[in-house]
């Protein structure tokens, strides 16, 4: 077979393929089923938000245009300082099956936000409330916003502001690793049920809010809506799709599920061997963050010398002017070296060592193992006082088990043995406080949806009970 190559400037003059005019996308605003006009959601009051997705006949849900919108108002005197993370758990039910149940979703949201592109974070600051690319120095002469208490109270107190919230959900989410396949809502029509139920639990306010002084903590969510695009297709199109997609009367959708595993490092411990039991047929990566076990309310925030919140992650070196081993080095939880192990395999083969004045080697490993070496990732950025990675509280421990940068299912089969993933971790000095290490494992599954509202999760080649 032979062909003639044409210049792109000529080839693109050809008419584009015309889409079907019978396909009708519509935007729907869904309100919480456990709310009415004027309902306020608070951690110390109505602390669950529940949405039911209608089973539109002959329709499909587009997760790429689905998001959460609400008005966020913090109580007088307290405010968030980076990502607005009011949800600690998210659960999705399809029919009578729990398809996903993400714990500490506010921590996972912060991790994903730390890996955003710098340009994305800067452009979306007004939508998401994450203004960390502005100065952390309240006295800095910076055009626009900064992180001073006065500025943040202007935004979040006295009526609050509207926030666009990314759903951290393997089916409905559109985050940087969310799925992009349409969900067949029409499969559930006639079943007498909604197609899916999304339930979210609110976070304790002290987890992500701070104050300048002693006082109460709290926040209120109002006007909360799930914005979704429903694509309605004519019966003829749905019949053709069914003929091509359906096997045994079902549609199979690939998705990635995060599971949380908590481990602990006792106070005064410097060497730790941590185990994670995750039996997945296709384990893609594991992301670990270090936090203090005890997280009292922050009541001394000033936007300058004290700009931390309880959502800051430990592990970075800290002040670059004070090297490891110096008598004045006192960074809590700074990581010296790590290595993952599964069975006889080591990740990486040579133990990963941090430098005496920074943790840049671990940052480079993170960006490369996640195939983000060609992105302007926020966790690799700098601000006027130092690096985000070592000083800005975005440190994390990451290892990807994928063998190539593609959509193939080529991760680690961690169910091949009864053994655990093991993390060997050494700190630069003994832990000054008890530490919590939270591991989020990302594994790939298949969601099978059947007509009538039945759902099944496949872990690789075998079914997994849900």
Instruction: Please tell me which of 50-59, 82-91, 250-259 the model is most confident about, judged by mean pLDDT.
Output: 82-91
Q: Tell me how many domains the chain contains.
A: 1
Phi then psi for residue 378, to 5 deg, are -60, -35
Instruction: Indicate whether 4 belongs to any domain.
Output: no
Instruction: Please tell me which of 240-249, 345-354, 449-458 the model is most confident about, judged by mean pLDDT.
Output: 345-354
3-state SS assignment for residue 399: strand
Instruction: Indicate whether 69 belongs to any domain.
Output: yes
Instruction: Indicate whether 215 belongs to any domain.
Output: yes
Which of the residue ranges 16-30, 154-168, 383-397 would you say has the lowest mean pLDDT? 16-30
Cβ burial, residue 276 (10 Å; 0-12/13-18/19+)? buried
Q: Which residues pair with 27 in a beta bridge?
A: 229
Q: Tell me the residue range of the domain where 296 lies.
A: 23-458
| Closest among 415, 437, 401 to 285, alpha carbons compared | 401
Instruction: Indicate whether 293 belongs to any domain.
Output: yes
Residues in the chain: 466
The chain-wide mean pLDDT, for the chain, equals 86
In contact, 109 and 83? CB cutoff 8 Å:
yes
Give the pLDDT band of residue 163 (cuts 50, 70, 90).
very high
Instruction: Indicate whether 307 belongs to any domain.
Output: yes
3-state SS assignment for residue 374: coil
- Look at residue 267 in the predicted model and tell me its pLDDT: 97
Helix (H) or strand (E) holding 369: helix 360-369
Q: pTM above the 0.85 mark?
A: yes
Instruction: Indicate whether 258 belongs to any domain.
Output: yes
- Look at residue 1 in the predicted model and tell me its pLDDT: 47
Give the pLDDT band of residue 381 (cuts 50, 70, 90).
confident
| Cβ-Cβ contacts under 8 Å for 66 (sequence gap 6 or more) | 167, 172, 174, 226, 227, 228, 229
pLDDT tens digit sequence for 88-117: 999 999 877 888 999 999 999 999 999 989
Strands 435-450 and 250-265: antiparallel
Residue 25: HSE in the Cβ half-sphere, 13 Å Cα cutoff = 13
Report whether pLDDT(3) > 50. yes
pLDDT tens digit sequence for 272-286: 999 999 988 899 999
Instruction: Indicate whether 31 belongs to any domain.
Output: yes
Instruction: Indicate whether 134 belongs to any domain.
Output: yes
């Amino acid at each position: 077979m032979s062909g003639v190559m044409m210049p792109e400037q000529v080839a693109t003059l050809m008419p584009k393929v015309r889409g079907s005019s019978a396909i009708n996308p519509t935007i729907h605003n869904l309100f919480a089923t456990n709310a009415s006009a004027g309902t306020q959601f608070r951690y110390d009051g109505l602390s669950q938000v529940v949405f039911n997705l209608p089973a539109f006949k002959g329709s499909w849900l587009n997760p790429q245009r689905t998001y959460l919108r609400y008005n966020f108002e913090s109580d007088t005197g307290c405010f968030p300082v980076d990502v607005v993370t009011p949800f600690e758990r998210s659960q999705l039910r399809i029919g009578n099956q729990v398809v996903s149940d993400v714990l500490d979703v506010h921590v996972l949201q912060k991790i994903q936000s730390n890996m955003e592109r710098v340009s994305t974070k800067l452009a979306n600051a007004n939508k998401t409330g994450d203004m960390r690319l502005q100065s952390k120095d309240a006295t800095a002469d910076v055009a626009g916003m900064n992180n001073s208490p006065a500025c943040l109270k202007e935004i979040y107190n006295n009526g609050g502001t509207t926030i666009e919230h990314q759903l951290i959900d393997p089916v409905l989410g559109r985050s940087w690793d969310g799925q992009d396949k349409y969900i067949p809502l029409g499969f559930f029509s006639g079943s007498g049920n909604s197609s899916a139920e999304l339930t979210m639990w609110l976070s304790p306010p002290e987890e992500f809010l701070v104050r300048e002084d002693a006082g109460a903590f709290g926040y209120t969510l109002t006007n909360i809506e799930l914005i979704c695009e429903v694509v309605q297709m004519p019966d003829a199109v749905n019949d053709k799709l069914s003929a091509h997609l359906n096997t045994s009367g079902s549609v199979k959708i690939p998705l990635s599920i995060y599971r949380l595993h908590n481990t602990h490092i006792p106070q005064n411990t410097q060497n730790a061997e941590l185990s994670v039991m995750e039996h997945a047929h296709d384990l893609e990566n594991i992301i670990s963050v270090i936090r203090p076990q005890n997280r009292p309310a922050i009541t001394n925030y000033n936007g300058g010398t004290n700009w931390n919140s309880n959502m800051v992650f430990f592990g970075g070196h800290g002040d670059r002017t004070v090297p490891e081993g110096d008598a004045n080095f006192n960074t809590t939880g700074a990581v010296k070296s790590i290595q993952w192990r599964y069975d006889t395999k080591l990740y990486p083969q040579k133990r990963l060592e941090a430098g005496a004045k920074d943790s840049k080697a671990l940052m480079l490993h993170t960006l490369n193992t996640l195939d983000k070496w060609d992105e302007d990732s926020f966790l690799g950025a700098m601000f006027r006082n130092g690096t985000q990675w070592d000083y800005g509280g975005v440190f994390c421990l990451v290892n990807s088990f994928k063998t190539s940068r593609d959509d193939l299912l080529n991760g680690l089969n961690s169910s091949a043995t009864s053994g655990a993933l093991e993390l060997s971790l050494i700190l630069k000095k003994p832990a000054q406080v008890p530490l919590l290490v939270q591991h989020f494992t990302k594994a790939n599954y298949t969601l099978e949806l059947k007509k009538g509202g039945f759902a099944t999760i496949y872990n690789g080649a075998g079914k997994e009970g849900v």
